Structure 1
Amino acid sequence: MPAIQYIINRPLLVSTEQLTVVLLITAAVFLFFIAIAVIKMYKLKAENKRLTESDAFKAEVDEGYKDFTEGHLYDNK
């Protein structure tokens, strides 16, 4: 029975080395996710630039302004 009492009453102490290892592992995981996000951001930026420079996008943008007031609703004869 004394072994069970020792386990129950044992203080939960964490050494400095254990805490350092846990924090380093956590930081490494977050740095990994940040690196993945930055790589994806640059890939999306490059794809957006490629699509913006394509002919299909330029055809839509270069149409210019069309005067719509010459219709029959405005009675401009």
Structure 2
Amino acid sequence: MLNTYISNISLVSTMQLTIVLIVTASIFLVFIAVAIIKMYKLKAENKKLLDSSFYKSDVEKSYQDFTESHLYDNNN
């Protein structure tokens, strides 16, 4: 009698719970896969932009020392 009462109380069976958990995990796996694909696409685009000649010309300029401006006292 007690066993029947306990089994009637459970609203969700083990099979239903397993199916819900599998579906939820599958959805999150799809989201993770999409995020990884986007990350690699952005990485490739970033590398392409860094390799472009326009950006290289700005990066390859030599460092300019700004310590000799009028804000610093260089009268040693």
TM-score, L = length of structure 1: 0.71
Structure 2: give runs of 5+ residues left out of the alignment.
1-7
| 1:29-74 alpha-carbon deviations (Å, 9 max, x no partner) | 00010000000000000000000000111111111123453x6x36
CA deviation after TM superposition for structure 1 residue 11, in Å: 2.9
Give secondary structure in 1 for the equivalent of 2:61.
coil
2:28 partner letter: F
Rg: which structure is higher?
1
Determine which of 48, 61, 64 is the counterpart of 1:63: 61
Structure 1: give runs of 5+ residues left out of the alignment.
1-9
Q: RMSD across aligned C-alpha pairs, in angstroms?
A: 2.0
Name the % identity: 55
User: What's the counterpart of residue 20 of structure 1?
Assistant: 18
Length, aligned pairs only = 65
Runs of 4+ in structure 1 displaced over 6 angstroms? none
- Return the alpha-carbon distance in structure 1 between the equivalents of residues 18 and 52 of structure 2: 51
1:54 partner letter: S
